[in-house]
């Protein structure tokens, strides 16, 4: 059984860039539903005991789209919560250097990120990833993630589904992405992911819990 991870901050901690109302619905309703359906399908498919990463990869390979969509959305949202922090600070050290190499500076990375997110048609995710030791901005459709892309490590992600911003920004995806990028990224988490991409430490994984025996 996969648990819905708690948010790593209070519901109102990301205001005004992201309201408590958005976070409550996004985490308690949308994300919770993906986790619940994933658990139902995992049981049906006899995949209990796997990591969520393995479930996502196996579902993708086997063409089990309902399981893939729910499992990948469960993973993406948990990763997304960790990509944000109240007053996220600025990139430093190796991450700052990688941004300079890949984009010039943080402002140009922001432009690439916002442009990719605004240009992405319909639902999906906009990512900063590390590949071949280079930072890149990509987007994926619907539940798409990077778990099936060998050599790609996600550094940061932002949700492009309308439920991520419609309460706070209505149809203004560009405004959302600009505010998001300025106020919310957890650059320490991003630096940790970049280090993992370079073989230093472990990349973030979906939390697992030891199965509890029925009494």
Query: Which residues of the shown chain bind Mn ion in the complex (CB under 5 A)?
Result: 159, 161
The SS3 assignment for 6 reads coil
Name the DSSP letter for residue 16: T
Contact 157, 83 (CB under 8 A): yes
To the nearest whole angstrom, how small is the minimum distance from the Cβ of residue 183 to Mn ion?
18
CB of 41 to Mn ion, least distance (A): 19
Q: Which is nearer to Mn ion, 161 or 181 (CB)?
A: 161
Task: Give least dist CB 30 to Mn ion, A.
Answer: 5
Q: How many CB atoms lie within 10 A of CB 9?
A: 14
Please identify, using beta-carbon distances, which residue of 161 and 206 lies nearer to Mn ion: 161
Q: Token pair of 195, please?
A: 């280090």
Shortest spacing between CB 136 and Mn ion, in angstroms: 22
With contact defined as beta carbons under 8 Å apart, do 58 and 41 qualify? Answer: no
With CB atoms as reference, the residue minimizing the distance to Mn ion is: 159
According to the 3-state scheme, what is the secondary structure of 28-93? HHHHHHHHHHHHHHHHHHCCCCCCHHHHHHHHHHHCCHHHHHHHHHHHHHHHHHHCECCCCCCCCH
The number of angstroms, rounded, from the C-alpha of 115 to the middle of its chain's C-alpha atoms is: 18
When the beta carbons of 141 and 198 are compared against Mn ion, the nearer one is: 141
Quote the least distance from Cβ 102 to Mn ion, whole Å: 26
Both tokens of residue 32?
A: 């919770």
Nearer to Mn ion, 103 or 140 (CB): 140
* Shortest separation between residue 164's beta carbon and Mn ion, angstroms: 5
Residue nearer to Mn ion on the CB measure, 73 or 95? 73
Question: Does residue 115 sit in helix, strand or coil?
Answer: helix
Nearer to Mn ion, 159 or 186 (CB): 159
């Amino acid at each position: 059984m996969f648990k819905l991870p708690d948010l790593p901050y209070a519901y109102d901690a990301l205001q005004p860039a992201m309201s408590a109302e958005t976070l409550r619905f996004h985490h308690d309703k949308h994300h919770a539903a993906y986790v619940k359906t994933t658990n139902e399908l995992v049981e049906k498919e006899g995949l209990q005991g796997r990591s969520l990463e393995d479930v996502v990869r196996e579902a993708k390979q086997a063409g089990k789209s309902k399981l893939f969509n729910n499992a990948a959305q469960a993973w993406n949202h948990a990763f997304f919560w960790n990509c944000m922090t109240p007053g996220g600070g600025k990139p430093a050290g190796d991450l700052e250097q990688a941004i300079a190499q890949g984009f010039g500076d943080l402002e140009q990375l922001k432009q690439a990120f916002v442009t990719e997110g605004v240009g992405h048609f319909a639902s999906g995710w906009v990512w900063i990833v590390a590949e071949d030791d280079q930072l890149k901005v990509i987007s994926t459709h619907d539940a798409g993630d990077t778990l099936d892309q060998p050599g790609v490590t996600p550094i940061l992600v932002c949700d492009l589904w309308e439920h991520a911003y419609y309460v706070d920004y209505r149809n203004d995806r560009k405004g959302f992405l600009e505010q998001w990028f300025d106020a919310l990224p957890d650059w320490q988490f991003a630096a940790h992911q970049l280090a993992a991409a370079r073989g230093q430490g472990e990349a973030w994984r979906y939390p697992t819990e030891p199965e509890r025996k029925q009494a």
